[in-house]
Structure 1
Amino acid sequence: MNNDKSLTIKTLSPKDAEQYIALRLDALKLNPEAFLTTYEETIQDKNLLDTWKTRLTPTPSAFTMGAFIGDSLVAVATLIRESHVKLRHKASLVGVYSTPAQRGKGIAKKLISAMIEKARELDGLEQINLTVASENMAARQLYLSLGFQVFGTEKNALKHNGVYSDEDYMALAL
């Protein structure tokens, strides 16, 4: 990586774990409604660095991509392919996050577009699914602009600190 302010998108690896963890912890604090895991659950992991080094090791069924401005990780997204034979034609897009300072600049769209292109290279993969908080209009619009379509809504999908959030289910046919 260089120190200029150009945008770079790449598949993350274990060497990116420290930056990923820092970004993830910020995400869990700033936007807890967007994630299944809580900040408190995450920091309880006594081996957090090793956990994420393992998770960031790309496999044929899972990989995380990141967007960097210079050397700074500013956005992330993970694709996880289904493991059951009857579901292998599908994958899930999870853990999507962009720093507040970089929102609205097209970085997440470029990141997810790159992820979709990489997903198209996976033999037999036909569909990418995701869930998004129904009230997160910016994220919903981003996914719609990339060709995802809503196919259902789960009422009260998440409950955090006594507050319920609905989630929209979206899919993109590859």
Structure 2
Amino acid sequence: MNIRLLVDGDAEMYREVRLRALKNDPDSFGSTYEQEATRPLGNFIERIRHTRDQFTLGCFDDSDTLVGIVNFVRENRLKTAHKGNIYGMYIEPQLRGRGVGKALLLALIERATKECEGLEQIHLTVVSNNESAKRLYTTLGFEVYGVEPHALKFDGHYFDEDLMVLRLAISNETTLECSNSHVCGVV
């Protein structure tokens, strides 16, 4: 497995995986296949374009096929710039439970803490009944701090979302470390 920053040239592969995610797990995302299938490739290029405060990581298998994606964006207002958000996480079904998601999230946390000076916490939302995803996030130190009832509505059904946060600690050297240091490999 190879995890790397996605670039403009990866947009078509990203689009294919994103659309598969929306088809395979429609209850897990705020968007729908129908909404995104008609969007031009330029929208996906913009979504994965790396800036100082946002990036997308991809996990590639040994045949260089994109099998996992995750997005990060830092808040851009003065009073919320200490926070970042994870969204659009997806691992192809045949690779779930094999550590791909964990590796992708650890790479995201490492990159975010290195690139985003002053970042203190990383947030995400997860559909409340997605036990495997919640287990993964908890293993990495994320904690539930609230539940949004009826956060999503799809095909007449409501889905609650758990709001989760990973608090990062600021060390004496002003570098950021995961507050759960044994999980994130920080001593």
Normalising by the smaller structure, the TM-score range is over 0.9
TM-score (structure 2 length as normaliser): 0.87
- Determine which of 5, 8, 14 is the counterpart of 1:14: 8
The answer to whether the aligner puts 1:152 opposite 2:169 as a matched pair is no
Partner AA of 2:49 in structure 1: T
**Residue-by-residue CA offset, 1:73-102 (whole Å, 9 max, x unaligned):** 001100010011100000100000000011
Across the aligned residues of Structure 1 and Structure 2, the Cα RMSD in angstroms comes to 0.7
> 1:1-174 to 2 correspondence within 5 Å?
7-45=1-39, 47=40, 49-70=41-62, 71-121=64-114, 122-174=116-168
* Deviation of the 1:53 alpha carbon: 1.4
In structure 1, what is the Cα distance between the partners aligned to 2:30 and 2:145?
Answer: 20
In structure 1, what is the Cα distance between the partners aligned to 2:26 and 2:42?
Answer: 23
* Deviation of the 1:44 alpha carbon: 2.5
In structure 2, what is the Cα distance between the partners aligned to 1:44 and 1:120?
Answer: 35
Where does structure 2 lack aligned partners over 5 or more consecutive residues? 169-187
User: Secondary structure, in 3 states, of the residue corresponding to 1:54?
Assistant: helix
**Larger relative contact order, structure 1 or 2 (CA cutoff 8 Å, min sep 6):** 1
Segments of 4+ moved more than 2 angstroms: none
TM-score (structure 1 length as normaliser): 0.94
In structure 2, what is the Cα distance between the partners aligned to 1:133 and 1:55?
Answer: 22
Residue identity (%): 44
Aligned residues: 166
**Residue-by-residue CA offset, 1:3-33 (whole Å, 9 max, x unaligned):** xxxx000011111111101101100001011
